[in-house]
Structure 1
Amino acid sequence: MHAFTVSELIRAPIDRVWAVAGDPTRFPEWMQGVDQVEPPDDGPMEAGARLPITVTDRGQTRTSTLKLVEWDPPHGFAIAAGNDSAGTRYRYRFEPARDGTATRAVLEADVIIQGKWRFFAWLLKKGMKRADGGQLRALARLAAP
């Protein structure tokens, strides 16, 4: 179920944007609530890899794992958290803009909810956009000169 889509024109070339966005250890710099992300310890960055993550939500710190669903340097990636019955998926796309001097970034967020919790999907989607809708603006501040 689609939660939201946001886009941002980042005033930096795609390779500079990817230097930040494509490094999972830098996710905490532009993803609110993310404290730490580690690269996969069992292989290369590629679709299917698992990234250990530490997040703080409402004062509670917890560890989990992100699954790297897509990996297409420097054009984007997708990460998923949760499982088949409840979870989230974030897809980040980057394309050169303005003769390569800028990058168009798009974030598409989806939520997976099964069973009785589907009645609360609207509330979860609203909270996701409020918490994560500013990620691309934060990324732009890091990547732009």
Structure 2
Amino acid sequence: MQPVSHTLINSVRAPVDRVFALLTDPQRIAQWLPGCDSVQSQGPLKKGARFTARFGARQTEFEIVDFTPPTTFGWVERGQRKGWKTFFRLDAGAGATAITIRDVWTPRSLAGWLRGRFLEKRRVQSQLKAILENLGKILAS
């Protein structure tokens, strides 16, 4: 089955190191990840590390699968949305950082692929947009 992916790109007026630090600080993830109430981690994030996030009554585990300071960060979900991968790429520019967020999911069936490709697209895009907006607000303050 072909993966379904969604990508969104935007820039924030902040240095790449500051953006990467915000993205990878477990104590700050709930500030920018929509719907996230809290995050628990055994320590600093690095490749192979896991953290748990609470979204209301739902709890999800994430495993860090990409961690290259200060340019890339990514995780795979191990909970209800098992197999969903989210990747962040940061590109430094003149006084700003371009943030590329890519969400990738490999469905297990044709019906799942159709749902993910067409019905879920608007929800995923709005989630990615909310992440970028939240990051921008935090970094502007």
Could you say if the C-alpha distance between residues 44 and 17 of structure 1 is closer, same or farther in structure 2, counting changes exceeding 3 Å?
closer
Match of 1:46 in 2: 46
Q: Which amino acid is the alignment partner of residue 49 of structure 1?
A: A
Match of 2:112 in 1: 117
Match of 1:23 in 2: 25
Shift of 1:93: 0.9
Contact 2:5 2:105 in 1 (8 A): yes
Contact 2:7 2:100 in 1 (8 A): yes
> Normalized per residue, which structure has more strand?
1
Match of 1:137 in 2: 133
Q: Encode CA deviations 1:99-132: one digit per residue, 9 max, x unaligned.
A: xx21111101112210242332222233211233
Moved over 3 A (4+): none
Shift of 1:25: 2.0
In the alignment, structure 1 residue 66 sits paired with structure 2 residue 62? yes
Structure 1: where are the runs of 5+ without partners? none
Contact 2:25 2:45 in 1 (8 A): no
Provide TM-score, normalisation by structure 1: 0.82
Contact 1:9 1:105 in 2 (8 A): yes
Deviates more, 1:101-110 or 1:125-134: 125-134
Shift of 1:24: 2.2
Shift of 1:143: 1.4
Provide TM-score, normalisation by structure 2: 0.84
Could you say if the C-alpha distance between residues 48 and 144 of structure 1 is closer, same or farther in structure 2, counting changes exceeding 3 Å?
same
SS at 1:74 equivalent: coil
Distance in 1 (CA, whole Å) between partners of 2:90 and 2:10 is 10
Contact 2:4 2:107 in 1 (8 A): no
Distance in 2 (CA, whole Å) between partners of 1:72 and 1:3 is 21
In the alignment, structure 1 residue 108 sits paired with structure 2 residue 110? no
